[in-house]
Amino acid sequence: MTTITLPLSFLRPALITLLAACAVFPHTGIAAKAPDSAAPATTISAPAIPESVFYYRAGKDPFFPNRVVTPAPEPTKKEIMLLKGITGTPDRRVALINDRTFTKGEAGEIKSGTNTFKIRVVDIKDRSVTIERAGQTNELPLVDNLLPLDGTK
């Protein structure tokens, strides 16, 4: 069995602190005293904590109620019509628009996403096609490169 002995100089600061605490706070007894019935009862109440109240209104931030929230603009639906190719003889040309073939003067429907558009091909040139859609005439140029620049599909 090993015995560890500590020098008195090691315990001195702890003993001085304990004696000073006993001198400052005198011992009044072990048992708690009953309160005097003749003395008025005093109650200590904690300060009242205000309750947080949030009025939820749709679109309002409860932390910044005075901020004006503007709705995000609706994304514009881009109508993509691509002239992917032109083939045929100069007398009878065929244009490939969004995976559908058209000849000069032909009318048909083109799907772009979930939308369907009615168009009519007015003229087919060597590098472009003139189409009519909803009373407006537009010219579609021939797309040079249908593949992405990085080579991925």
* CA 46 to mean position of chain CA atoms: 42
In a domain, residue 29? The reply is: no
**Tokens 């996403």 sit on residue:** 113
φ/ψ (deg, to 5) at 35: -65, 145
Each residue's pLDDT expressed in tens, for the chain with a length of 153 residues: 677 776 767 667 777 777 777 666 665 555 555 555 555 556 777 788 877 766 555 666 777 778 776 777 777 666 678 899 999 998 899 999 988 999 999 999 998 778 888 999 999 999 999 999 989 999 999 887 766 666 555
In a domain, 63, yes or no: no
The number of residues in the chain equals: 153
Specify if 124 maps to a domain: yes
* 69 domain-assigned: no
10 domain residue, yes or no: no
What is the value of pTM for the model shown?
0.47
Number of domains observed in the structure of the chain? 1
Report CA 71 to chain centroid distance, whole Å: 15
Structural domain range at position 91: 83-141
Q: Is there a domain that residue 132 lies in?
A: yes
Tokens of 115: 């939308």
Q: Is 19 left (phi over 0), alpha (psi -120 to 50) or beta?
A: alpha
In a domain, 50, yes or no: no
Do the domain assignments include residue 116? yes
pLDDT of residue 115: 82
